[in-house]
Structure 1
Amino acid sequence: MAQPQTRRQPPALAVAALIALAVVAFQALLVPLFAAPAANLEPRDLPVIVAGPAPAADGLAANLERARPGAFDISTEPDAASADAALRDHEAYAAFVVGADGVTLHTASGASPTVATLLTQATQQLSGGQQVRVVDVVPTDVDDPRGAGFAAGFLPLAMTALAAGALAALVLRSRGQRLLALGTFATLAGLVVSAVLQFWLGILPDNYLLNAAAMSLFALAASATVAGLGSALGKAGVGLGALVVFLVSNPLSAVSAAPELLPEPWGAVGQWLPVGAGSTLLRSTAYFDGAGGGMALWVLAGYAVVGLALVALSRTGRPERVTPMPVEREAVPVG
């Protein structure tokens, strides 16, 4: 009787070495992805306003462009009141207001505490080291003056959304169960995380329901992307979703800085990824009543719709199962 063929297995040491090399290669790509944007923060076409009488304002704008070429995208306003209105509408990060007593810097630290600090230092340098008067028109919450809590509080939501999407794709058996789980998770995640950040930790200011809606949309976009790719491609899809939602999206999100501070084009690319769009939308609802969050809203909605569509239209509603290999048995004579 023909003997069953046995497959030659690669040596265990070779497999171990290949795994180690693959992980190290992945690490070599991951380290610059996280470190390079953070190490090269500087203004790049940063939207700012120069306000005041035309001759003085034009002169200050020219000085800014001469001192930092390419750093600022400068617009002008006739006075401080109109400049402050533009800051509240999230049209710029700061305004240099020219008055009889010199230049006053009006900031919107709610948009980015990092930018507010950088511009304060830059204004002092332009004024020859003299102390510059700073007015924070849209301040961060008093319990989170540097915005560190805002940035750190957003990370767990991204991680749990990734986990929820992976579990929905790999554990739940039907499309309906997956869709129900994603919707329930997103709704509860937004309500709970917003309550924790606002009422417990004091990181977010008012607009609880608006903030909860923004975080629910982000949670749905991230989890549905992972679940959709997992439903369509199996475990490989879950890995691809994790790559998009977290490993690439997180370092390019500028959640602790501003997109205009990252090297080009990565700041803009990050705003088309879930974490970047989600943090921008939450910042707009928390500090600007939703102003400036339109693009982020549509980006997240797009991820959510595509992800849910992949879940609903996937070929099978069942998670992957491992089919055992048939085992050939040698016939044993009887008698």
Structure 2
Amino acid sequence: MRSSLARRTAGVAVVAALLQLVMITAFAWPAARVAPRDVPIVVTGPQAAAVAERLDRERPGAFDVLTRPDEAGARAAIAGREAYGAIVTTPSGPKVLTASAASPFIAQQLGALAQAQAKEGRPPVPPVQDVVAADSDDPRGAGFGALALPLIMSGLAASVLLTFAIPAAAWRAAGVVLFAVLGGLGAAGIAQGWLSLLPGPYLALAGVMSLTILAVTGTVAGLATALGRAGLGVGSLTLLLLGNPLSAAASGPEMLPQPWGDLGQMLPPGAAVTLLRSTAFFDGAGAAGPLAVLVAWAAAGFALLAVGGLRGRTGEEAARGREPALA
């Protein structure tokens, strides 16, 4: 008996230690490897070709340089979420356009790049203009970057509560929808009204948050309904250990090593961050992709809920059918 308990204790301790290492790696590794990788920026003006060549030579692989005919085209590319910023060359010297709303981190990188490009005999530092600025109450995006984790954690907690408190799959699905609606309205109210982290239309922001909660809670609750308690673990680990650190909420997917940056955008946390930025700051530009990702996850969650519910109903009917024979 004692040897059995000793083996079980040792096994639990080893699994917990391994899980700790995985969590440290999942959260610390992306942050430790943040650097520009094919970040799309626009170069325009009479010296555009020379600037693009210099960037490629001095920062190979850092930027995906796009060209536009003039400054208006560069601004349109930034507003349309095709680029994070622009270098506009003019006869009087270059200037840099940034969009801190898209990524304060990348905007800072472009500002530093402007300083590095300054040469003797020219203006000390090219002027930098933030054409799509982050909220004035959250200029560095720290508050915005902290939004993703509470949405994911609350969705995971709700899925656990619904799984253990609501036995019927249909009512569990109804609980997911009700929680998503209430949670989205409440979270948007706090983020916009109290904390002042997000501009834009309140109902649109609430809709994005509700869809995020629906995708997270529906997926995990659906996995639990279809697979049992193991589904809770699979869903929680996927969304928490992969989805949250790969969301690039504080930087941008292009700042993470690939393919992890792209993978993060295929998971609910990363898609939610991108969709919130598009809704709050860019009038919906670039929203189609992340919207499709969240809808797909939500649909998969409800499909799993339906499968689990049908399986449970079939099992109950089979059990009732055996009762007379056992009698």
Distance 2:140 2:119 in 1: 26
Distance 1:219 1:273 in 2: 13
Closer, same or farther: CA 208–317 of 1 in aligned 2, 3 Å: farther
Q: Which residue of 2 aligns with 1:143?
A: 137
Q: Which residue of 1 aligns with 2:165?
A: 171
Matches within 5 A, 1:1-335: 10-53=3-46, 56-128=47-119, 130-314=124-308, 315-316=311-312
Tell me the SS of whatever aligns to 1:164. Answer: helix
Alignment check: 8 A CA contact 2:247 2:265 kept: yes
Distance 1:317 1:67 in 2: 64
For 2:71, give the aligned amino acid: A
Give deviations 1:27-56, integer Å, cap 9, x for gaps. Answer: 222212211110111111101000113xx1
Tell me the SS of whatever aligns to 1:178. Answer: helix
Alignment check: 8 A CA contact 1:186 1:219 kept: yes
**How far has the Cα of 1:133 moved from its partner?**
0.7
Which of 140-149 and 272-281 deviates more?
A: 272-281
Unaligned runs of 5+ in 1: 1-7, 319-335
Distance 1:62 1:72 in 2: 11
Unaligned runs of 5+ in 2: 315-327
Which of 99-108 and 226-235 deviates more?
A: 99-108
- What TM-score results when the alignment is normalised by the length of structure 2? 0.91
Alignment check: 8 A CA contact 1:170 1:235 kept: no
Give deviations 1:205-234, integer Å, cap 9, x for gaps. Answer: 122111111111111000001000000111
Q: Which structure is larger by alpha-carbon Rg, 1 or 2?
A: 1
Distance 2:43 2:313 in 1: 57
Give deviations 1:287-316, integer Å, cap 9, x for gaps. Answer: 111111211111111110010111122112
Alignment check: 8 A CA contact 1:170 1:230 kept: no
Alignment check: 8 A CA contact 2:222 2:304 kept: yes
Alignment check: 8 A CA contact 2:274 2:287 kept: yes
Alignment check: 8 A CA contact 2:106 2:252 kept: yes
Alignment check: 8 A CA contact 1:253 1:259 kept: yes
Distance 1:175 1:24 in 2: 35
Which of 167-176 and 289-298 deviates more?
A: 167-176
Alignment check: 8 A CA contact 2:41 2:85 kept: yes
For 2:243, give the aligned amino acid: S
Alignment check: 8 A CA contact 1:207 1:289 kept: no
Closer, same or farther: CA 232–10 of 1 in aligned 2, 3 Å: farther
Alignment check: 8 A CA contact 1:224 1:308 kept: yes
- What TM-score results when the alignment is normalised by the length of structure 1? 0.89
Closer, same or farther: CA 73–317 of 1 in aligned 2, 3 Å: farther
Closer, same or farther: CA 103–174 of 1 in aligned 2, 3 Å: same
Give deviations 1:84-143, integer Å, cap 9, x for gaps. Answer: 111111110001011122111100110000000011112211224932211111000000
Distance 1:98 1:10 in 2: 75
**How far has the Cα of 1:10 moved from its partner?**
4.4
For 2:287, give the aligned amino acid: G
Alignment check: 8 A CA contact 1:173 1:317 kept: no
For 1:150, give the aligned amino acid: F
- Percent identical among aligned pairs is 46
Aligned length: 309
For 1:305, give the aligned amino acid: A
For 1:95, give the aligned amino acid: A
Give deviations 1:251-270, integer Å, cap 9, x for gaps. Answer: 11101110000011110111
For 1:316, give the aligned amino acid: G
